Structure 1
Amino acid sequence: MSKNNSTPQVYLVGAGPGDPDLITVKAVKAIAAADIILCDRLVSPEIIDRYANKKTEIVYVGKECSKNASTPQSHIDSLIIQHASQGKKVVRLKGGDISFFSNVLDELKALKQYNITFEIIPGITAASGAAAYAGMPLTARGYATSVRFLTYYKTEILSDEYWKELGNSEDTLVFYMSKGNLNGLVDKFLALGKTDDKKIAVIEQATTPYQKVYTSSLEDFHKKFQNKEFVSPSLVVVGKVVHLHEEFSWLETPIQEGIYFKSVTNGSLVSTPQNLFEYAV
């Protein structure tokens, strides 16, 4: 809760990685009490169906940059401020955990600027959900003593010096939002060497009925998957723990293909203010 301890007007909520049962009780309470929910694409539609009041307004403000179907962050910030300033209880609902590779900092700054009370409700992040449902504990004893959460959505985001460190690291490496640069990511590791004991896993649509896990040595990845178009969202795990998947995988392979997270965006239909000041309290 914000520092003045008053009832929050805005709840920033993590919905979990996909399986609608992987949501916290606190998140369910916030969703049920909301007047309006600003919902990302990577939120299970069952969560809305189960827990949102039928009178609650649902506004989809998803981000899918690869398809140029994203709602601008400034627009999302404006919607939050607009509705909170009207006295509504606002839930900003995002897939996974609200604090992992999201734009929550922009939203926090906007809320702070206009003195709007808020609460952050964490969720199970994609890395935890994907690893659990793929049977590969991220810090399994004897395989890894630590784990790093990274992203490689832009090739320049990691420096050459940092790549050298990753190449020598015994950590489990989890890459978010990196399927578009996957071949280049593998090439980076191959160029650094020391890949004999490591494997790579690509986990599609983790924790959903359509989850699929593809594993390979780094050396064989291009031969097996160079022309494969992985479904979004896909999480990438690199490290010794990937070896555990074959032995401890417990989730049944889906019997059919499908897309769990649909591309739904209606946030762009609401006019965007010139600046947030229009909605200052």
Structure 2
Amino acid sequence: MEQPDLAKADTEAAIDRQTDPQPAREVLFELRDVGVTLPAGPGGREILTDVQVEVGTGEIVAIVGPSGTGKTTLLRVLSGLLRPTCGTVTLAGRPVTGPSASAVTVFQDYATALLPWRTVAHNVALPLEGKTGKAERRRRVREALEVVGLAERAEEYPWRLSGGMQQRVQIARALVVQPQVLLMDEPFGALDAITKASLHDQLMDVQAQTGQTVMFITHDVDEAVYLSDRVMVIHTPDGPGTPGTIVHTVTTGLPRPRDGIATRDLPGFHAARHELAEVLRDGRVGH
């Protein structure tokens, strides 16, 4: 009797799941008619214009686009570090008027973000100091380090850890405040390919455990597609030097959990990657 090809069946099932409708998500972040003009010269310099964004609870959303199109500016608006010149930004229905523990940013430069004279545990505890009791602080630090797989390194110093581990310490420091949203500015851009692939899966595990919304900037199209539910493209449709805006969004439709090899073999992965590459090349859809 012929045995079924289990590997083939698993792949076909994964492909079938890509066509399933995505479950409805509660809107968490909402940007309406957002524009940003920074002081520069007599009239200022317009960085972003007419940005319309909705992000659901528990989504992973990548932001891609050429340099100078306003990606980091958008992340600063989302984090409350920068007030838009026009338009509205809301998080869980409340206006974003400044930095909040509900949305925490993880930066690319992990080496300077961590304090070398403090242990891993004390680096992670930093946002809680003066805000929680010692026992509560220790519990939350331990839990955050367990999520990123560094509980056994709590008493180490950052300079004794690899780059990938240091970035995981940064993620733990963000998780310890129990935010609704993780905002990440090219979090893996400075890492080698092998470490980056490992941290991709670590991020997916963290999101699965916490259910948090994740938004991150990247210049890596493969990274954007592999990690995300949706990829937003910022571009300057009127040419270089003009304000950026969201010109296109790709829904990846890839099933979870994801596998670094099997997921990249799926037709849906290649289709999303091709669509993104075309938009990034032309600057807008149908160019």
Do these two structures clear the TM 0.5 threshold for a shared fold by scoring above it?
no
TM-score by structure 1 length? 0.28
Structure with the larger strand share: 2
Structure with the larger helix share: 2
